[in-house]
Structure 1
Amino acid sequence: MGCCALCKSEADLIDSHLIPKSAYKHLRGLPENGGGSPIRIDGGQGNASQSDLQITQYLLCRVCEDLFSKHGEKVIGRLWGTHSGFPLVNQLLACEVRGSHEGYSLHDHSVLDRKDVDGLIYFALSIFWRAHVWNWTGKTDPYKKALGSKYEQEIREFLLGLQSLGDMLLMLNVNTNAELNSFARLPQAYRKNGVTHHVFSLLGIEFSLFLGGSISPEQRSLMGQDKVLFATSDIAKTNVFNGLSQFVQTKISVKGKLKDKMPIRARGSSS
């Protein structure tokens, strides 16, 4: 028995996953290449290794676990990038381009299935919320309670169906480079040019969350009532991926057999 972090009821808690259990098989290497374990980069500990370790914790009651599964995880499980295909990028590339900038193309997502859009929003906010309330140990906490008490409560009530989205914007950048979909990045928050970025990546989709004053006037002019924007890009050619590559090469100690494979120069990066 314990207190469910979402509904706050006393109940038998489920051993919940931070990243959906179903994602891990898609993060492994191709079967014809040996099906290697996913590469895990731990910024807190400053190391990288190949590991099948799944991040779990007794966090939610059965009812709330089912909420997350029904409203978010089942939806993204139909849309993310795997070795056999990437339904979401195919759908977006068929949508009208509203504008392009520095390798990113912003798409009109009004033709996407409304249930899919709502499910992606729900899933993303559930991951940011889980990272915030997670009982991290040692130096591994990549998120550091970044939502703050106000937005943690607002998102918790949204996930419970008690209120609509508050003053926030979610941006989904969907990768067009099929070679770089088997990738996961745990939620983290960082400040750049006075703006706090909340971000995580999973199987070809980068989720970025902006809260309150961090939403720029330009972003507000582009976002609709659903408070979400969809873009596509070749992740290997973006500043985000090249920044991560530089971080791995300069800040991360590589362990085990991974030493033979890293550091890696990102495709499209300058020499």
Structure 2
Amino acid sequence: MNGICALCTKDRKLRGSHFMPKAVYRSLSKGFPDHGENIVLISGGDKSAAYSDKQAKKHLLCESCESMFSKYGEDKVISLMARPGGFKLATKIRKFKELSRLNDEAWYFPPGEGLAFNFMYFAVSIAWRLSSADWTSYGLSETKNSLWLENMDSFSEFLLGGSEIPENTYLAVYVDNQTVDTPLMSFPTFKDHASYQHVVFEIPGIKFSLVAGKNPGEGVREIYSVNKTNVYFVSRNLKSHPDYQFMVNFLKHEAIAKARLAKELGITV
């Protein structure tokens, strides 16, 4: 269909753009034998959980902008996520220069600007999609225009190639250091703070924590002050992360199982 591209704002033929990359869905459905045919969609909007292979997508981008999203972000990042045959990023970061280590968590510098750029581009593209369209028909909460105008302007300029790093934007890429036996993909969620916004989402084995705003706090500025790429890679056990524990508790105690999942849980409980 023809329309106005949400990124370049030109009147062009629009592609069916996925919110989360199609390759992630494909990896989940075909790559993990024990989970692929039984993907559970957990919705915080109506507190439900059900089997679903429905993919969130809209006619949002023209072919040129869609290609940039793939070339500079998705193609590089998705190839490194956890798969049944191995987890390339988990192996790769062991060779990165270490910044600090505390208990289970180790922070690493990216090896040059190329990889940092790809991960930043990917994270920003997902955050941009969060705010650029209405995804409520897919069971998500209302997020259109959720990012502040200054963040959206900065993100759009970066995604179109007008800047190397979006201003006042910082990214931590958490990499699971355990066997990824329960693959997860989470749609991005955001939280407003006084002078910055925080966007978090996950693909198998990798958790993205993106902070954007004029004043993200002294702690963030200090830790990123020695890193001109504004990107760190963090090795840790993702199942011990508070977000994972929150999801498990939500699924156990709050989410309402629907359709086939409800029947199966009824049989097994």
TM category, shorter: 0.7 to 0.9
Bigger shift: 7-16 or 115-124?
115-124
User: How many angstroms apart in 2 are the aligned matches of 1:170 and 1:181?
Assistant: 24
User: Which residue type is aligned with residue 251 of structure 2?
Assistant: V
Q: Pick the aligned partner of 2:240 from 237, 242, 245.
A: 237
User: Which residue type is aligned with residue 14 of structure 1?
Assistant: R
User: How many angstroms apart in 2 are the aligned matches of 1:209 and 1:122?
Assistant: 11
Give the unaligned 5+ runs of structure 1.
Answer: 263-271
User: Which residue type is aligned with residue 23 of structure 1?
Assistant: V
TM-score (norm 2): 0.87
User: How many angstroms apart in 2 are the aligned matches of 1:105 and 1:228?
Assistant: 14
Q: Which residue of 1 aligns with 2:163?
A: 163
Aligned pair in 2 of structure 1 residues 83, 260: CA closer, same or farther (>3 Å)? farther
CA shift, 1:214, in A, is 5.4
Q: Which residue of 1 aligns with 2:70?
A: 69
Q: Which residue of 2 aligns with 1:154?
A: 154
Once the two structures are superposed, the pairs formed by residues 147-226 of structure 1 within 5 Å of their partners are 147-164=147-164, 165-180=166-181, 182-190=183-191, 196-213=197-214, 215-223=216-224, 224-226=227-229
User: How many angstroms apart in 2 are the aligned matches of 1:66 and 1:194?
Assistant: 33
Q: Is the 8 A contact 1:37 1:50 kept in 2?
A: yes
Q: Which residue of 1 aligns with 2:107?
A: 106
- What SS class does the counterpart of residue 161 from structure 1 fall into? coil
User: How many angstroms apart in 1 are the aligned matches of 2:193 and 2:101?
Assistant: 21
Bigger shift: 143-152 or 117-126?
143-152
User: How many angstroms apart in 2 are the aligned matches of 1:132 and 1:117?
Assistant: 23
Q: Which residue of 1 aligns with 2:40?
A: 39
CA shift, 1:68, in A, is 0.7
Q: Is the 8 A contact 1:44 1:141 kept in 2?
A: yes
TM-score (norm 1): 0.86
RMSD: 2.5
CA shift, 1:55, in A, is 0.9
Residues 75-112 of structure 1 show CA distances to partners (whole Å, capped at 9, x for unaligned) of 01221111111111111123343223463221232xx3
Aligned pair in 2 of structure 1 residues 218, 36: CA closer, same or farther (>3 Å)? same
CA shift, 1:9, in A, is 0.2
Give the unaligned 5+ runs of structure 2.
Answer: none
User: How many angstroms apart in 2 are the aligned matches of 1:98 and 1:72?
Assistant: 25
Aligned residues: 261
- What SS class does the counterpart of residue 246 from structure 1 fall into? helix
Residues 99-143 of structure 1 show CA distances to partners (whole Å, capped at 9, x for unaligned) of 23463221232xx35322211111110010011102223562364
- What SS class does the counterpart of residue 57 from structure 1 fall into? strand
Q: Which residue of 2 aligns with 1:137?
A: 136
User: Which residue type is aligned with residue 241 of structure 2?
Assistant: T
CA shift, 1:157, in A, is 0.9
